[in-house]
Structure 1
Amino acid sequence: MDTSPGYPRANPCLSFWLQNVRNSPLLGHRTTSALPESTSITIIGAGLSGAAIAYFLLTGPNPPARVVLLEAREASDGATGRNGGHCRPDCYRDYTHYKAEFGREQALKVIQNEMDTLNLMEEIIEKEGIDCDFWRGFSYDVPMDETVADYLAASYQEFVADGGPVDGIVEQILDPDAARHATRCPAATAAYKSPAGSLYPYKLVLHLLSLCIEKHELNLQTHTPVRAVRACPGGGWSVETDRGAVRTDKVVYATNPFTATLLPEFTGHIWPFRGQCAMIVPPKAYAGKNILECTYMLAHGDYLIQRPKDGVIIFGGARRSMPVEKLLGNTDDCGRLPEMTKALKDALPAYFEGWGEEALGEGLIYDWSGIMGYTSEGIPYVGALHDKPGAFVCAGHHGHGMARIMTCARGLAALIQGGDWATTGLPECFQPTRERLAAPAQAVVHNIGKQDVIGRAESAVGV
């Protein structure tokens, strides 16, 4: 894709998460009726990245005097408010890919960062008393053919050989019968059990933003798309919107799939990628005392959580049901693709034993679309933009943002406040370096050895 992704669509569909917060005080929120003429820091994008960056800036040491957060639609109306609510670190799965791309040291850091993110997520939720249905437990990787099983086994073995930590973290179940019994998946050829969590993503963002607005004077402006960002004579930036311009000392792009609209140098490096997710009411065989005790990654990238609070299953994936060309570059989150709806509806009775006939009110009740920001290496861009003093980016989370964003936001906040890269605690390969952006822009089509789906082996949380 070599064209601008444009802007978020004006009338998106509602996800399960968004349907159930129609009483949110942030709907249509504008802290002030007019845009401020100037500010210390302007953040573009009010998903989890923008909200968490604002939180770490405003609650950290030496907070900036004024922070403005601009959002094209509603707060948390993009991928954050549409994902699967799945906080699942990659504890080994894509190690071979990261090592081939960045070398052993960086690959180990990428894997460690994801566990750090889950721990930080839990720490912040507990510290701030955030009611977002957070649950921490375990997840199963469930290969269902030899290709996937071989991929996972090879990655696990190489990770262990290179000193990656697995004791007490990853449990291998290599006997197929034992794997089928543990996972309740008759087609399982093996299983890998590792830490994971789940939550209500919109409620997390709502709490972080409300806290920053009420206690730290964050100025949130929804329905204010940014049309251009121009350098000001003498330093700083003019952030131009349909409602006027804000003069700002520093600007942060938390724009994920739409980053290349305002930063053309990211064209071909961050792509929009359309996904689809569903809310499923399980039959009695998977309700009550029979509820699934773990989250799941299934076969070639389908994933699910079963919410402990209400037993509802959030299930995403079904990407093999559509040609990749119809998903790559697609920014339409206003409706659903019927082929993906059917695949989502049919999948769980096929994956799980004894699912049984679905009664009225059971099964797939509703599904929705969302737009992710994919990158060719499968990792985000986080850091200062070269040749743009006072400009920073946190984008391209590759459908895996819930397992990365919290640490990325904390690290970027440290950079914005004048720290060096060592203060971020992040892998060096996340930086938007000249070399990285000068590399040939190409979509890497890769999914556990299959050459028909863009992205990594989706150990992820995206829609």
Structure 2
Amino acid sequence: MTEPAASFWLDRAGSWQPPDPGVLPARADVVVIGGGMTGLRAAQRAAVLGAHVVLLEQRALVGGATGRNGGHVVAGPADSTAETVRLLGMAAAREIWDFTLHTVNAMREFVAAEGVECDLRFAGTAHLAFVEKELAGFEADAALLQTLGIAAQPWSRAECATRTHSDAFIGGLFYPHGGQLWPAKLARAVAAAAARAGARLHSGVQVHAVTADGAMLQVQTSAGALQARAVIHASNGWARRLLPELHNVLVPVIGQVLATAPAAHMWDFGLVANDGYEYWRQLPDGRIVLGGMRWRSATMGRDCDDDTQLDAETSAALRAFLPAHFAALAALAVEYEWSGVMCYTPDAQPLVGALPGRPGEYIAAGYTGHGMPLAFMAGCCVAELALGAPPTITANAFSPKRFDSTTL
């Protein structure tokens, strides 16, 4: 199938030879569909638990959203905490914060234990307001975060100007736990760990259908059929292709990201503005990675899982953003630009768990553009569920059961 434009993360990650999986077997205990962070982590955890695991990726491993995002890892819900409390309640908001904080800590422990060089650092993330409505939202979040015991620091207009080197922002909310990383490098390390544990990772294999076959599941692929005791759907923005009943629940959304030439040092921390529609960070070598602006597209990128094209309006807006708000970056060249497929859900929370009406099938998908602080443990959770192992952590707010037949 057609490959999208190379992302900075994938192009500059260095040479990598994925483990040779051999010939596609006829049977497996667990088949994982999707070779990004979720699927690789699910494969690794299931293999460690003793299962015969086969992972199937339609393109190259780490070639989807994991290798094509903005490189942020910030605990918390995809929506604001205030909006999450309004929609789901305080207990669910606390559960989501606990899950994402656990995920970030698990990633940090894996990186340390495996000696992974993926530029993981926790220099904080600043959420910045252009207008009063955003600032009021930050104030509501700050009050709730204090109740939840989550550290967050309000920034005044003057502090924003000092810390960001721009007068564009009227205030902000700084999350000191916010992190940044080179996502493709971390995912490659998870792939290596999965292979060492015995998982077989097959790239270039497209799954056409999953059907019941007695006590087993039949997985039809472009490389032939195989049987499995359990199937884990971990293809995020492509998941609804195999799960038509979730067509209105798992909505693919295209996002665009660019990387500039190296610039003088501006920020150690990550930055987010316009209610999350723009997000950027500076790499140690001075390059700036900026994503967002999909609101400039007529469709806002919704209902599209084709990441081989770039939207011209979004591209123009991205290229204008840094010069418009940071005088020091007026002449900065763009070296890379790419797109990636995200997956949004109606309540901005992922689906993690057993699929209703599909015995033996599980899902971890629908991160609503917020996959890095979720996927690592979401993959672990579904692997444990599929094998009946004691759960490391759970999140009832992510249960697929919340979307019943009247919602789908």
Same fold? TM cut 0.5: yes
- The unaligned stretches of length 5 or more in structure 1 are 1-8, 442-463
How many Å apart are 1:439 and its aligned residue? 4.7
1:426 and 2:406 matched: no
Amino acid at match of 1:355: A
1:212 and 2:173 matched: no
Equivalent residue for 2:12? 20
Q: 1:394 aligns to what SS in structure 2?
A: strand
| 1:249-288 mapped onto 2 (5 Å cutoff) | 249-283=229-263, 287=264
| 1:22-421 mapped onto 2 (5 Å cutoff) | 23-26=15-18, 30-32=20-22, 34-59=23-48, 62-64=49-51, 66-90=52-76, 94-160=80-146, 163-166=147-150, 169-173=151-155, 175-194=156-175, 195-213=177-195, 215-233=196-214, 235-283=215-263, 287=264, 290-300=265-275, 301-308=277-284, 310-323=285-298, 325=299, 327-352=301-326, 354-358=327-331, 362-419=332-389
Q: Deviations over 1:73-101 (max 9, x none)?
A: 11011111110111112389612221222
The verdict on how the C-alpha distance between 1:269 and 1:91 changes in structure 2, with shifts beyond 3 A counting, is closer
Q: What RMSD over aligned residues (CA atoms) do the two structures have, in Å?
A: 1.9
- On the 8 A contact 1:269/1:437 being kept in 2, the answer is no
Q: Using the alignment, how far apart are the partners of 1:67 and 1:440 within structure 2?
A: 33
Q: 1:89 aligns to what SS in structure 2?
A: coil
The verdict on how the C-alpha distance between 1:376 and 1:406 changes in structure 2, with shifts beyond 3 A counting, is same
Q: Using the alignment, how far apart are the partners of 1:375 and 1:320 within structure 2?
A: 17
Q: Deviations over 1:134-154 (max 9, x none)?
A: 222211111111111112212
* Superposition misfits of 4+ residues, deviation over 6 angstroms: none
The verdict on how the C-alpha distance between 1:80 and 1:130 changes in structure 2, with shifts beyond 3 A counting, is same
Q: 1:377 aligns to what SS in structure 2?
A: coil
How many Å apart are 1:68 and its aligned residue? 0.3
Q: Using the alignment, how far apart are the partners of 1:93 and 1:396 within structure 2?
A: 13
Q: Percent identity?
A: 27
The verdict on how the C-alpha distance between 1:386 and 1:124 changes in structure 2, with shifts beyond 3 A counting, is same
How many Å apart are 1:326 and its aligned residue? 5.1
377-386 or 176-185: which moved more?
A: 176-185
Q: 2:253 aligns to what SS in structure 1?
A: strand
Q: 2:110 aligns to what SS in structure 1?
A: helix
Q: Using the alignment, how far apart are the partners of 2:111 and 2:205 within structure 1?
A: 29
Q: Using the alignment, how far apart are the partners of 2:17 and 2:78 within structure 1?
A: 40
The verdict on how the C-alpha distance between 1:326 and 1:218 changes in structure 2, with shifts beyond 3 A counting, is same
Q: TM-score, normalised by structure 2?
A: 0.94
- On the 8 A contact 1:266/1:437 being kept in 2, the answer is no
The verdict on how the C-alpha distance between 1:306 and 1:376 changes in structure 2, with shifts beyond 3 A counting, is same
69-78 or 274-283: which moved more?
A: 274-283
Amino acid at match of 2:142: Y
Q: Using the alignment, how far apart are the partners of 1:16 and 1:203 within structure 2?
A: 12
Matched residue count: 406
1:440 and 2:369 matched: no
The verdict on how the C-alpha distance between 1:52 and 1:43 changes in structure 2, with shifts beyond 3 A counting, is same
Q: Using the alignment, how far apart are the partners of 1:377 and 1:439 within structure 2?
A: 15
Q: Using the alignment, how far apart are the partners of 1:90 and 1:185 within structure 2?
A: 26
How many Å apart are 1:133 and its aligned residue? 2.0
Q: Using the alignment, how far apart are the partners of 1:109 and 1:118 within structure 2?
A: 14
How many Å apart are 1:400 and its aligned residue? 0.5
Amino acid at match of 1:314: V
Q: Using the alignment, how far apart are the partners of 2:300 and 2:154 within structure 1?
A: 36
Amino acid at match of 2:45: F
Q: Using the alignment, how far apart are the partners of 2:300 and 2:116 within structure 1?
A: 38
Equivalent residue for 1:10? 2
- On the 8 A contact 1:93/1:156 being kept in 2, the answer is no
Equivalent residue for 1:447? none
Q: TM-score, normalised by structure 1?
A: 0.83
How many Å apart are 1:346 and its aligned residue? 1.0
Q: 2:380 aligns to what SS in structure 1?
A: helix
Q: 1:150 aligns to what SS in structure 2?
A: helix
